[in-house]
Amino acid sequence: MTTELEKFSSGEKRLEGLNRWLVARLQSAIEGLPLDITLWDGTCLRGSTEPVVAHITIHDRTTLLKILLNPELNVGEAYTTGRMDIEGDLVALHNLYNQRVASAYPTPWSRLRKRLLDLRPNTLHRARGNIYHHYDISNDFYGLWLDQYMVYTCAYFPTSAATLEEAQIAKMEHICRKLALKPGETVVEAGCGWGALSLYMAQHYGVTVRAFNISHEQISYAQEQARIAGISDRVQFIEDDYRNIAGQFDVFVSVGMLEHVGRACYPELGATIHRSLKPEGRGLLHFIGRNRPLPINAWIRRRIFPGAYPPTLQETADIFEPWNFSIIDIENLRLHYAKTLVHWLERFEEATPQIRKMFDEQFVRTWRFYLAGSQASFLSGFLQLFQVTFTRNTYNQLPWTRAHLYQAMSPGKLQKEN
């Protein structure tokens, strides 16, 4: 017969055994990394003797167990719910994580997970849900930390000293130049965000634009901007899916939408571009991508971008090859995205007092973790930013070299017109 005391003591021993095992696993996971971790019982672990980039506190055993079982998902979950605290450089911490997992990927499990995710199409209905989740939360929130034009995609810094505002204008100008827009031409934009690029093209290049987006909040904002600028007759913002684009245009442009399309729908996107382009048409896709196929980060998929997938260049062939499109220029701007994220994260941190009034602390931590993690991913080469310019295969009218992309910008373009 065991007494209550013996039962308790044997349970304690089992837990002690579990603790020892967890600590050993954790120590091996951080081996060589410049960080230290304090556990709920005061246990301290150190990865290396170098100066640490972050002090981590894990507040309970269950959280540590979850993190060890699935770090990709549960490090983020633990931090954002406050069951784990991080003091120090969050970007550097993400960088360490990326470097460690990058060498392990792709694993058999990541390959399987990717295959399964690839099969899941973002139907019209599901796409709306995905976009609502991220983009419709509040224009005021985005206004607190984006630039004045509300551009929520990688900026282009002509010099590394450029401000975020200058860099977002330079990005729009860079895209217009790559497309060699001419006055009077027609443009369709798929996934137009808050409308900045469409407005810029109409104002500075004299083109007529039809822009599509399924985010209700963004389209309302963009329509209002067109009214204020007095160019609603030349820029039409339509709350609809890219698959419903009708008509034929000289130019197809899409900035930061392909990540949300999902691989299963690339043939449909390709068919849409083909259908929408005149025989002498050309286009540009700007998107987050990868060097090799990996499933999207599990935490990002759950908390930030459901249904999203950053493709390799090879995978985008499903868009271009069936229609014999000719790829004429690809530029990788990953370090520009890292820099964009430095600005966003700085502004976000400055705005946290206001953001806390709009949302709860978990929201603040979620967005901080996402912005810092993204910055680290672009910095460490875990994510890429591709701008792909393409034409119909027989189009011979593009500028002879790319030198025109690098001519000085007229000062007028650096001021907002409206």
Cβ neighbours of residue 196 closer than 8 Å, sequence gap 6 or more: 149, 150, 151, 168, 172
Under rule CB under 8 A, residue 137 binds a second copy:
no
* Residue from 322, 346, 350, 362 binding a second copy (CB under 8 A): 322
* Residue from 2, 28, 396, 410 binding a second copy (CB under 8 A): 396
Under rule CB under 8 A, residue 400 binds a second copy:
yes
Residue 183 parent element (H or E): none
Q: At what angle do helices 361-379 and 334-358 cross, to 10 degrees?
A: 170
Nearer to a second copy, 109 or 400 (CB): 400
Spatial distance between the Cα atoms of 314 and 291, rounded to a whole number of angstroms: 9
Please name the residue ranges forming H helices in 247-360: 258-261, 266-276, 298-303, 317-320, 334-358
Under rule CB under 8 A, residue 332 binds a second copy:
yes
**DSSP calls for 3-54:** -HHHHHHHHHHHHHHHHHHHHHHHHHHHTT-SEEEE-TTS-EEES-SSPPSE
Number of residues lying near a second copy (CB under 8 A): 43
| Rg of the chain (C-alpha set) | 24
Under rule CB under 8 A, residue 160 binds a second copy:
yes
Under rule CB under 8 A, residue 100 binds a second copy:
no
Under rule CB under 8 A, residue 406 binds a second copy:
yes
Under rule CB under 8 A, residue 71 binds a second copy:
no
Spatial distance between the Cα atoms of 151 and 168, rounded to a whole number of angstroms: 7
Cβ neighbours of residue 403 closer than 8 Å, sequence gap 6 or more: none
Residue 371 parent element (H or E): helix 361-379
To the nearest whole angstrom, how small is the minimum distance from the Cβ of residue 20 to a second copy?
36
Under rule CB under 8 A, residue 317 binds a second copy:
yes
Under rule CB under 8 A, residue 252 binds a second copy:
no
Q: Which stretch binds a second copy (CB under 8 A): 23-31, 129-137, 188-196, 397-405?
A: 397-405
To the nearest whole angstrom, how small is the minimum distance from the Cβ of residue 219 to a second copy?
33
* Residue from 101, 271, 298, 327 binding a second copy (CB under 8 A): 327
Nearer to a second copy, 334 or 368 (CB): 334
Nearer to a second copy, 68 or 409 (CB): 409
Spatial distance between the Cα atoms of 136 and 235, rounded to a whole number of angstroms: 22
Under rule CB under 8 A, residue 313 binds a second copy:
yes
Comparing CA positions, the residue from 412, 362, 371 lying closest to residue 80 is: 362
> What is the Cβ-side half-sphere exposure of residue 324, based on CA atoms within 13 angstroms?
6
Nearer to a second copy, 157 or 194 (CB): 157
Q: Which stretch binds a second copy (CB under 8 A): 9-17, 63-71, 115-123, 150-158?
A: 150-158
* Phi, psi torsion values for 381, nearest 5 degrees: 75, 15
Under rule CB under 8 A, residue 380 binds a second copy:
yes
Query: Within its chain, how far is the Cα of 362 from the centroid?
Result: 20
Q: Which stretch binds a second copy (CB under 8 A): 147-155, 270-278, 315-323, 366-374?
A: 315-323
Comparing CA positions, the residue from 240, 27, 30 lying closest to residue 127 is: 240
* Residue from 137, 351, 358, 405 binding a second copy (CB under 8 A): 405
Under rule CB under 8 A, residue 325 binds a second copy:
yes
Read off the tokens for 281: 């048409």
Spatial distance between the Cα atoms of 248 and 242, rounded to a whole number of angstroms: 13
3-state secondary structure of 290: strand
* Residue from 169, 219, 304, 379 binding a second copy (CB under 8 A): 379
Under rule CB under 8 A, residue 271 binds a second copy:
no
Under rule CB under 8 A, residue 280 binds a second copy:
no
Q: Which stretch binds a second copy (CB under 8 A): 30-38, 191-199, 332-340, 342-350?
A: 332-340
Under rule CB under 8 A, residue 393 binds a second copy:
yes
Under rule CB under 8 A, residue 203 binds a second copy:
no
Q: Are strands 54-58 and 84-88 parallel, antiparallel or unpaired?
A: antiparallel
* Residue from 320, 337, 348, 369 binding a second copy (CB under 8 A): 320
Nearer to a second copy, 1 or 408 (CB): 408
Nearer to a second copy, 132 or 395 (CB): 395
| Sites of contact with a second copy (CB under 8 A) | 102, 156-160, 291-293, 312-314, 317, 320-322, 324-332, 334-335, 379-382, 384, 392-396, 400-403, 405-406
